[in-house]
Amino acid sequence: MTWILATLAVAALAAFLAQIGVRRQGRQRRQAVARLLDAADALEARLRAARSEIEAIAGSDENPVREAMQEMLRHRLWLQRHGDAATLEDLDTVRGAIESAQRSIDHQLLLVERARAPLH
């Protein structure tokens, strides 16, 4: 009888620990998606604010803002289509790509700012 109770206690503990693991993984996944969406939102806001400045210098032939907006849209569509099945690593990779695009736009803005600065 004691052996059966011990086995049931171990099984209950294993089930409890498995449930905690599932909840933790779900929380990590939600956080990864939230970080990805926050990065996309930040990039979109930055692009909208910078559009006229960068387009004035870059012109319409070579338009880094339009390219970055298209790239961001591709990432959002990927998330919509594949986000439910994506691994945490996939989500982090996409977020990294979005953050890289934001750094690129920030660099472009720095170049625009330097080009507009009066020569001393």
15 domain-assigned: no
39 domain-assigned: yes
6 domain-assigned: no
10 domain-assigned: no
Which pLDDT tens digit goes with each residue over 88-102? 888 888 888 888 888
Which pLDDT tens digit goes with each residue over 10-44? 677 677 667 776 677 778 888 888 888 888 888 88
Long-range contacts of 54-61 (CB under 8 A, 24+ apart): 54/105, 54/108, 54/109, 54/112, 56/112, 57/111, 57/112, 57/115, 58/108
- Token readout for 100 is 């890289």
3 domain-assigned: no
The residue range of the domain holding 50 is: 29-116
* Total domains present in the chain: 1
20 domain-assigned: no
106 domain-assigned: yes
109 domain-assigned: yes
